[in-house]
Copies of this chain bind each other. A is one copy, B any other.
Amino acid sequence: MLGPNRYGKAETRLVRVSRDGDTHGLVDLNVSIALAGDLEATHATGDNAAVLPTDTMKNTVYAFAKEHGVGEPEDFALLLAGWFVGSQDQVDRATVSIESFAWDRLGPHSFARRGDCTRTTTVTVTATTTQVVSGLTGLVLLNTTDSEFHGFVRDGYTTLPETTDRILATAVDAKWRHSGDTGDFGQSYEKAVEALKSGFVGTYSFSLQQTLMAMGSRVLTERPEIAEVRLALPNKHHYLVDLSPFDLTNENEVFIAGDRPYGLIEGSVVRDDAPAATAEWWL
């Protein structure tokens, strides 16, 4: 028996240049599309009468980039998702996810890739619902102090010493769900990122969970258009080096940056009156 299923074209790499006048614009996206609907036949027998080729989805990305321009990635995702649901009767649900790579301007038509993090969006459209999720991945933040960890459970396998001063570092993977499906998504993103950063910087932390809650709450406080924030925060451990064999002290100055294992703190902060999500979005 066929269970839940979907299909689409993943990772269509689009670079869109705006050449209005001498000063060019640059948009650099990685677009993934997934469609669900009446797809029994192709699974059962390979009858593709209901299958829009994934190649066509790719073509649509490029053609729409020309016809409509791109704008904010959320808007472009809404345009694409709406198109597939609207134009293909057999499609019940379209999910468009976009990674957006930022570039710094070096000249009228020259750019350097920024590289600090990747902006993301996932838009899900059905005949009756539209859900917009924005986010980012790979934003690496670090506080050299103002982080403690103590008072935790100790069982027979616990050896961790308590600490009142440690490095707190994480690579933020954040998604936030908008209450509606319109708005100035560019400004919303910029301000949400600022809120995440200031939540991290401004919290004297007794656990990464507390910092997570502070970051998510800050976003909700400052951005009324956002209903819910989900954060996955790896605790990028920095181990204090024992320098005593060399007759040296180490007062939180010299650290090993560890790779694995790492803590992983995942949680969401939800506005009291948030409308329910209409689609899975926390993948």
Contact = CB atoms under 8 A, between A and B. Distances in A.
Interface of A: 1-19, 24, 26, 28, 30, 32, 34, 39, 42-56, 58-60, 62-63, 65-67, 87-88, 103-104, 106-107, 109-117, 138-146, 148-160, 167, 197, 200-201, 205-210, 212-213, 228, 230, 234-235, 238, 241, 243, 245-246, 248-272, 283
B113 A209 contact: no
B156 A26 contact: no
Contact of A267 (B5, B52, B150): B5
A144 B110 CA distance: 7
Nearest to A115: B115
Contact of A160 (B49, B55, B255): B55
B254 A62 contact: yes
B10 A263 contact: yes
Contact of A7 (B45, B155, B209): B209
Given A43-B209, A50-B153, A113-B116, 14 more contacts: A11-B262, A13-B259, A14-B257, A19-B253, A26-B144, A43-B210, A45-B206, A48-B153, A52-B152, A56-B159, A66-B243, A109-B143, A110-B143, A113-B142
A272 B1 CA distance: 6
A3 B50 contact: no
A237 to B, nearest CB: 9
B11 A260 contact: yes
B43 A251 contact: no
A63 B267 contact: no
Nearest to A45: B210
Most chain-B CB neighbours within 10 Å: which of A53, A88, A114, A143? A53
